[in-house]
Amino acid sequence: MRWGTPIVSAAEMRALDRATIEEDGVPSLILMERAGQGVFRHLCEWFSPIQGRRVAIIVGKGNNGGDGLVVARYLHEAGASVHLWLATDPSEFTGDAAVQWHIVRAYDIPALPIPPNPDPALFREEEVLVDALLGTGLQGEVREPYRTLIEVMNQSERPIVAVDIPSGLDADTGRELGIAIRATYTVTMALPKLGFFQNAGPRCVGKWVAVPIGIVPRRMADLQSAARLLNARDIGAMLPAWSPDAHKGHRGHVLVVGGSPGMVGAPALAGISALRVGAGLATVATPARIQPQVASFYPELMTIPLPDGDTGALTRDGVRYLSERWARYDVLALGPGLGQLAPTESAIGELLSLWSQRERPLVIDADGLNWMARLGGEVPLPPWTVLTPHPGEAARLLQIATHQVQEDRLNVAALLHERYGATIVLKGAYSVITDGSDTWIVPFAEPSLATGGSGDVLTGAIAGLLAQGLAPREAALAGAYLHAAAGATLACEGHAPYTADELSRALINALRSRAVSLQRIRLGRNQDADCE
């Protein structure tokens, strides 16, 4: 099953439009009308009441400008004080945009040309700006007069609503083509664009929403896009369901290996997070020197003190001691707080080799990944492995610069899978997940997740879902989604910034809300019904 909503490139979106017009018989003018109507509806939602609201629509000459002309008409009919700033001579409108210009003129909506040297004072009387300058077809860097106009709009201190995509943003890469609109909101047509989730995309797009414009649903469902956007309904369907007589042994036992002097909280956070997503049991195996501190955090966690020669490091003796006792563990989470002490280097190689022989799931994060990068060569990993690097760790694993990771996150995730054969969760704003056959994006860019220990919470969540029998792909998708959703909910409720412990506790509510939604679907109830 292909989870999520397709995320399209500019070429894929043009092909959808073309097929809709040429094969399905939907006139292009209807697509434009639906697009403008969708933008209008959301303007009414975001800036209610719209009646009397002063709205300026900045219009270019292409179809993006045509969409803006439709918006102007609907706003005028709703009683807004709307007018057009034209960045092109009306004689340059062609096709559907020319038709819309002709209609707008019949409404007597004020339209003025952009002055030769605009400045932010141009918009001092406006309450809202609508960016209908440049669409997804922009090639090369933004040229004058658009460049100065975009700069002035960004300096205006007015909320900006972008039509389809912020002008100047590359729809595929998310790079600014010299300069781009910094939108407050973006209303995109039919499907989200790849550029929303990479490079400058998250900064430029703001809050975004996709609106239907008349494309046949079958065409979107059949689309073989480069990536797909996860949604709550799909995540709910992935979550494990237990029978009423299930006991803790049925829900799996997670083993966390980590911790070192100064980083004793990390493995504890991973262990408790595994329990909070439903794992039956969690044990932290940690160097004997720090085991009492690790054990003091959460009474729900069991701990194993590993022989460490009083170094506080994971040692080969510790690994051998553990391997004689780990038959009862279903999943290994390796790396939280592991540290960079010298004895750990040889211990990591031996641990990975021994665990791989068991053919049970493995999650590697933090210093586990850093040691993998340092060891190089062929690292033995079981086929049910999930790696959860942040951009710096991904860069070390691939021996490239961090900025190269951020410039091409989808391809970097694919390269990591190719090299290590694991399911990859590339963390960051809009985390990327791939199993080699499909790629998904988590639909959250929540800055408060960038806090110490947040990654340990994610490691535990994925391990806890693996322990309950989810495949690595589903565990990575559900774990990353629940982790980000928990953070986004905390932020929406006014609790940002928050700590990793608060984030871990919020996993419970994130899990419950998805499980309850799925239960309602299964019982045929609407979303407002009580769940008994």
Helices (H) and strands (E) in the chain, counts: 19, 18
- Name the pLDDT band for 528 (thresholds 50, 70, 90): very low
Burial readout 375-395 (b: 16 or more C-beta within 10 A, e: otherwise): eeeebebbebbbbbbbbebbb
Measured distance CA(66)–CA(513) in Å, rounded? 41
Q: Which of 209, 226, 243 is the C-terminal boundary of a domain?
A: 226
d(CA 260, CA 388): 20
The tokens describing 106, both together, are: 């019949």
* 58: three-class secondary structure by DSSP: strand
Same domain (yes/no): 208, 247:
no
Which among 371, 335, 337 is positioned nearest to 266, based on CA atoms? Answer: 337
Q: Are residues 186 and 328 in the same domain?
A: no
Evaluate whether residue 377 is within a structural domain: yes
- Residue 83's closest CA among 96, 73, 91? 73
pLDDT at position 1: 60
Task: Enumerate residues 6+ apart whose C-beta is below 8 A from 485.
Answer: 232, 444, 510, 514
What's the whole-number mean pLDDT along residues 464-492? 96
Q: Check: CB of residue 47 under 8 Å from CB of residue 128.
A: yes
SS3 283: strand
Q: Are 222 and 237 found together in one domain?
A: no
Neighbours of 137 (CB within 10 A): 14
> With 50 as the cut, is the pLDDT of residue 144 above it?
yes
Domain assignment present for 529: no
From 226, 257, 276, give the residue that closes a domain.
226
Asked if 343 and 423 sit in the same domain, the reply is yes
Helix (H) / strand (E) containing 480: helix 472-492
Could you report how far apart the first and last alpha carbons of the chain are, in Å?
30
Residue where a domain stops, chosen among 226, 256, 289: 226
pLDDT digits (tens, 9 = 90+) for 242-293: 888 788 888 999 999 999 999 999 999 999 999 999 999 999 999 999 999 9
Instruction: Please give the helix or strand (H or E) that residue 272 lies within, else none.
Output: helix 265-276
- Whether 105 is in a domain gets the answer yes
Confidence band, pLDDT 50/70/90 cuts, at residue 521: very low
- Residue 381's SS3 state is coil
How much is the pLDDT for 524? 39
CATH number of the domain bearing residue 220? 3.40.50.10260
> Are 400 and 504 contained in the same domain?
yes
pLDDT of res. 246:
82
531 domain-assigned: no
Residue 36 clears pLDDT 50, i.e. is over it: yes
Q: How many CB atoms lie within 10 A of CB 359?
A: 10
Burial pattern 405-436, b for ≥16 Cβ within 10 A else e, equals bbeebbebbbbbbeebebbbbbbbbbbbbbbe
Distance CA 176, CA 143 (A): 13
Same domain membership, residue 123 and residue 200: yes
> Mean pLDDT across the stretch 391-403?
97
Same domain, 306 and 327: yes
The CA-based diameter of the chain, rounded to the nearest angstrom, is 86
Identify the pLDDT of residue 515.
Answer: 57
Nearest-angstrom CA–CA distance, 107 and 55:
16
293 and 390 belong to one structural domain: yes
Question: How distant is the alpha carbon of residue 266 from its chain centre?
Answer: 24
One domain, residues 167 and 290 = no
Tell me, yes or no, whether 306 lies in a domain.
Answer: yes
| Contact call for residues 80 and 108 (beta carbons, < 8 A) | no
User: Do residues 369 and 391 lie in contact, with contact meaning Cβ atoms separated by under 8 Å?
Assistant: no
Residue 499 tokens read as: 């700590």
Q: Are 412 and 357 in a shared domain?
A: yes
Sheet holding 362-364, edge to edge: 5-7, 227-229, 439-441, 432-434, 423-426, 385-387, 362-364, 331-334, 253-257, 281-287, 302-306
Crossing angle for the helix pair 500-523 and 265-276, to the nearest 10 degrees: 10
* Mean pLDDT value of segment 318-338: 97
Dist CA 36 CA 10 (whole Å): 19
Cα separation of 229 and 238, whole Å?
15
Output the DSSP codes for 124-171.
Answer: TT-SEEEEES--TT--SS--TTHHHHHHHHHHT-S-EEEESS-TTB-T
What mean pLDDT do residues 311-331 have? 97
At 511, the pLDDT band (50, 70, 90 cuts) reads: confident
Q: Does residue 299 lie within any of the structural domains?
A: yes
Domain total in the chain: 2
pLDDT(527) > 60: no
Q: How many residues does the chain have?
A: 532
- Interaxial angle between packed helices 63-77 and 95-106, expressed in degrees from 0 to 180 and rounded to the nearest 10: 20
Domain around 110: 5-226
Q: Which residue has the higher pLDDT, 378 or 83?
A: 83
- 151 and 300 together in one domain: no
Residue 181 belongs to some domain of the structure: yes
> Is residue 532 domain-resident?
no
Could you tell me if 295 and 207 lie in one domain? no
Whether the ω angle into residue 49 lies within 30 degrees of 0, i.e. cis, is yes
Residue with tokens 């399209």: 8
| CATH code where residue 421 lies | 3.40.1190.20
Q: pLDDT value at position 224?
A: 86
497 upstream amide cis, omega within 30 of 0: yes
- Output 3 or 79, whichever has higher pLDDT: 79
- Percent above pLDDT 70 for the chain: 96
H or E segment at 256? strand 253-257
